[in-house]
Amino acid sequence: MDRLEEVRVGKKAVVEDLLGRLGLPKQRRARKTRQTVLEAARECFNEHGFDRTPIKDIAAAAGVSVGTIYEHFKDKRTLLKAVGQMELRRLKSEAFGPFQDAIVSADRDGTELPDLEEIIRLAIRGTLESFRSYPRLLAELVDIAYRDQEFFAFVQEISDEAARFVQGLLVFFGARPAGPQSKRTARLLVLVCEGAVRKFTLYGDALSEEELVEEMTALITSYLFPGKLSEKAQQTS
């Protein structure tokens, strides 16, 4: 242990003692430290990439010692997977949050429920917003998912949950009957939306963001309801 590390460990002991005297439970402090490390790792991985980010840089960004990180995570790859799980939950929340809020508001306030076309538009915008926050990190996560069976299973679980939610919307709005057909359609829509948004976020496109949203909305709406595009969708198609 070098001198700098000894100083960090010493400071950590002092802080631990102080927090204990203030009555902050150790388990709660551990959760807070873990979350701080995850957020620091997310920023470092997104800025520099997984391979170019040493653990000591993450420790410095989080304001903790290298040893503290290893108390919570076995190695850097384990840390990346934990960051990935955190980010996938965020993606799901931001992608589905806007129209979930619209549905809750309609139920609570008695306002008109958004039609399926508007819900599709909100979902695409929400997915774009969430992907745009950490594009390089998302590329790293896609890469690790292809090489790590356990992490791939977690990614698949999130995708399956999204597809089940979309299936419920399709049945509710009469776009597809309940059963295998609506399940297949929901999975296809999730795959298409995720793939298009990820490619647009990472590599860009000749389309503007607004054009992408409207073109995808028109494409999906015409697929679900042939001949029933709204006036707005017709203007962009």
Q: What global pTM score does this model have? A: 0.67
Length of the chain: 237
92 touches 161 (CB < 8 A): yes
- Spell out the residues 6+ positions from residue 201 whose beta carbon is closer than 8 angstroms to its own: 128, 131, 132, 135, 138
33 touches 64 (CB < 8 A): yes
Alpha-carbon span 99 to 120, nearest angstrom: 9
Domain 3-72: state its class: mainly alpha
Q: Which CATH number fits domain 81-236: 3.30.930.10, 3.10.20.440, 1.10.357.10, 3.30.300.160?
A: 1.10.357.10
Tell me if residue 227 falls in helix, strand or coil. Answer: coil
33 touches 68 (CB < 8 A): yes
Alpha-carbon span 137 to 181, nearest angstrom: 34
- pLDDT tens series, the chain, 237 aa: 454 444 454 555 555 555 454 555 556 677 889 999 999 999 999 999 888 999 999 999 999 999 999 999 999 989 988 998 888 788 777 777 766 676 677 667 776 767 888 888 888 888 888 788 888 888 778 777 888 888 888 778 778 888 888 888 888 888 888 889 999 999 999 888 888 888 888 787 788 889 999 999 999 999 988 866 555 545 554
What's the confidence (pLDDT) of residue 9? 44
Amino acid at 80: L
Amino acid at 64: V
Q: Which of 20, 170, 193 is nearest to 91 (CA)?
A: 193
- Take residue 15 and report the two structure tokens written for it: 């802080």
Tell me if residue 114 falls in helix, strand or coil. Answer: coil
Considering only the C-alpha atoms of the chain, give the largest distance between any 2 of them, rounded to a whole number of Å.
72
What's the confidence (pLDDT) of residue 3? 47
What's the confidence (pLDDT) of residue 26? 58
Alpha-carbon span 134 to 146, nearest angstrom: 19
- Take residue 114 and report the two structure tokens written for it: 């958004």
43 touches 61 (CB < 8 A): yes
What's the confidence (pLDDT) of residue 11? 52
What's the confidence (pLDDT) of residue 7? 42
Alpha-carbon span 96 to 88, nearest angstrom: 12
Q: Where are the domains of the chain?
A: 3-72, 81-236
Amino acid at 189: L
